[in-house]
Amino acid sequence: MIRIKYKTKSNILTIRLLFECISVLDVPFDYSHSRELCLSGCKNYNRKYSCPPNSPSFEFLSKERSDLSVLVVKIDTDGQKENYLTLKMLNSVARSIQNNFFNYVKETTNKENTDYFLLGNGSCRSCKKCSLQFGESCKKPSKITYSLEATGINVHKLVEYGFNFNLEWYKIFDESFPKYQCVVGGIINSSHFTFYEIFHKWIENGLLKNERVLKFDPEFQQIG
């Protein structure tokens, strides 16, 4: 785990970055259950190629691959206003960090032809409106992104298994406010040592060169 202080326009946030490689055999998933949940509770069901029932299953994507390298961006809510807008802001920050790491992965593996598949957070945003809604094929198949949930992965159980803590959720009528906001992403691959190394290099050559990062605590560096 690595801890940093991160500056936004009006806040200084405490962010923890957790990275772990988990065998695909230990990843909790149930594509049918995930599809049913999306059908009953998500507006993007069958309206985006990145979402069920059009998204591929984790079982399909993990064939001939051995590991799921998981990145959790965990931001403390301590000292923040306890409302939905705060969580929306923290989610945006966490996503930007996740996307920065994924972009670094793409840049550093282009020449190596590494076999992997990225799974992010939320539905694909490559187009303003998915062409599925017009009965057309995907316009940017090379840029389409899937979430962990869209492939059937139970993210709550995944985090509990890999990092030994529970995700917390915001409920309007609940008196308690989440102690942290998390964004979880993963890389299905067959070379977890490669991605441990890439993660370390991203911390050194990418994240720590970001002017928004004010402090880095090396004593929290317990990766691999």
Tokens of 6: 């991160």
Which domain, by its residues, includes 103? 2-220
Residue type, 162: G
Helices H / strands E in the chain, number of each: 5, 7
Mean pLDDT of the chain: 90
The DSSP code sequence of 100-169 is HHHHHHHHHHTTTT--EEEEESSS--SSSS-GGGGT---S-TTT--EETGGGTB-HHHHHHHHHS-----
Maximum Cα interatomic distance, the chain, rounded to a whole number of Å = 53
Whether 222 has a pLDDT exceeding 60, the answer reads no
User: What pLDDT digit, counting tens, does each position of 56-78 carry?
Assistant: 999 999 998 999 999 999 999 99
Tokens of 215: 């402090």
User: What pLDDT digit, counting tens, does each position of 16-59 carry?
Assistant: 999 999 999 999 999 999 999 999 989 999 999 999 999 999 99
What is the 8-class DSSP label of residue 83? S
State how far the Cα of 7 lies from the Cα of 168, in Å rounded to an integer.
23
User: What pLDDT digit, counting tens, does each position of 165-211 carry?
Assistant: 999 988 766 778 999 999 999 999 988 778 999 999 999 999 989 99
**Among the listed residues 56, 156, 145, the one whose alpha carbon sits nearest the alpha carbon of residue 102:** 145
Span 208-222, mean pLDDT?
75
Half-sphere CA count of 86, side-chain side, radius 13 A: 18
State how far the Cα of 13 lies from the Cα of 36, in Å rounded to an integer.
36
User: What pLDDT digit, counting tens, does each position of 101-119 carry?
Assistant: 999 999 988 755 568 999 9
Beta pairing class for 116-120 and 146-147: parallel
State the pTM of this model.
0.91
Number of domains in the chain: 1
- Report whether 45 contacts 130 (CB < 8 A): no
Of the candidate ranges 67-76, 135-144, 207-216, the one whose mean pLDDT is the lowest: 207-216
